[in-house]
A and B are shown apart, each in its own frame.
Chain A
Amino acid sequence: MSEDKLIEGVLSGKRRALARLISLIEDEDSSVSRILAKLYRHTGKAHIIGVTGPPGSGKSTLVTRLTTELRSRGLTIGIICVDPSSPFTGGALLGDRIRMQEHALDKEVFVRSMGTRGHLGGLARSTSDAVRAVDAAGKDIVLVETVGAGQSEVEVVEIAHTVLVTDVPGSGDDIQAIKAGIMEIADIFVVNKADLPGADKKVTEINAMLDIAPTSDKWRPPVMKTNGRTGEGISELVDEIQEHMAYLKSSGVLEHKGLQRSKDELEQIMEYKLTRELMTKLQGTPEFDQAIKRIARRDVDPYTIAERLITKFLASCRE
């Protein structure tokens, strides 16, 4: 598929083009930044919803249920599910689709599985660009399901407008609830498998944690009970998700976050490009190799050498 055809395909919502683009993004193909550059102005329309929580807390089932409800409200859906890659072989078994059979033939639901490929933080490095591709393809909602998260897989907060943190009854005590990390990123808490004993206690614990949280935020994360098996509580959850988006818009938080994200992204891209530029210039040069050897022998220190090489690089840019 040619680049122009691919771009045209993605923008008209063709799923083969979208699927191919996500592969190129994952494989870090050299064409990706050119393609994304052309798609950029068509993005920013989708409501991006992150779903995170411990392994086995029902994230995939919840995503399926949410999809059913959102579809019934006339919205189109893209789903990106991330599962871990093996740190030893780089392989992965991506099994989130198993729970998403219900929507397998709905052309307005696009599901894509991603392996983390060595990236920590709960997502793959390319997840944010993949989400952007789905956004460009015109989906109203993008659901991003993270890997089963522990306490510090919090990266989803950087790409999602609304973050759902799932938990189940009987997991941990009230001290777990006030620890830093994942409990801080929720816009909405979801106590899933609420038919199990201890659901109300869990809700109370999370609410108690929220009561003592010093926050200037006007949005207090609601704590919702759901049952992924029966679908109980899902409609109310979707109401809250839409409520949250309305809050983001009316409070100006959406605009503020948008600026922050654009700043972070621009910095990241510049840092990446600059480093690559510098390293392609240096790597393999006798000067660089010599410096490494001298550092290893303790003749010189890496701090001084780094300073010197960068100064020289910047000077060469001025010429």
Chain B
Amino acid sequence: MSSSKKIRVLVAKPGLDGHDRGAKVVARALRDAGMEVIYTGLRQTPEMIVEAAIQEDVDVIGMSILSGAHMALFPKVMELLKAEDADDILVVGGGIIPEDDITELKKCGINEIFGPGTPLEDIVKYIRENVNA
């Protein structure tokens, strides 16, 4: 692979949740870290997220959810990624997600969850270190 390989990240807001400030702040931070961020906007279904991730050939999917539906939507995304043979994509989440749920989500393949107050540099660093180069 040549040295000009850029990290591509899909930032998505799954489900019925209009709180997109966090997602936008993270998208901006990743952009400023030199990554290409594809921002899909609000109200994405898991199917739409996985389809976009495939077409855009992203290295990372970042999902933000504050509605409480994460236990339904995140695992569904993982299931669809597996079905598409695309589970090599790094998947991270953020938003309001209780501790207990984090353990469960990691079991189903979500690589990391970043809660409120996470320094942006931590997210950038995590992605840089864990993306499949």
Contact = CB atoms under 8 A, between A and B. Distances in A.
A97 B38 contact: yes
A17 to B, nearest CB: 10
Q: How many residues of B sit at the interface, in one of the four size bands?
A: 20 to 34
B31 A91 contact: yes
Contacts, number: 89
Interface string A207-239: 000000000000000000000000000000000
A112 B55 contact: yes
Interface stretch (B1-9, B64-72, B97-105): B1-9
A98 B36 CA distance: 15
B52 A27 contact: no
Interface of A: 15-16, 19-20, 22-23, 26-30, 85-86, 89-95, 97-98, 101, 104-105, 110-113, 115, 117
A239 B59 CA distance: 40
Contacts of B28: 93
A97 B39 contact: yes
Contacts of B40: 97-98, 101
Majority secondary structure of chain A interface residues (helix, strand, loop or mixed): mixed
A19 B27 contact: no
Interface of B: 1-2, 4-6, 8, 27-28, 30-41, 47-48, 51-52, 54-57, 84-86
Nearest to A95: B39
A283 B19 CA distance: 53
B54 A19 contact: yes
B5 A91 contact: no
B85 to A, nearest CB: 8
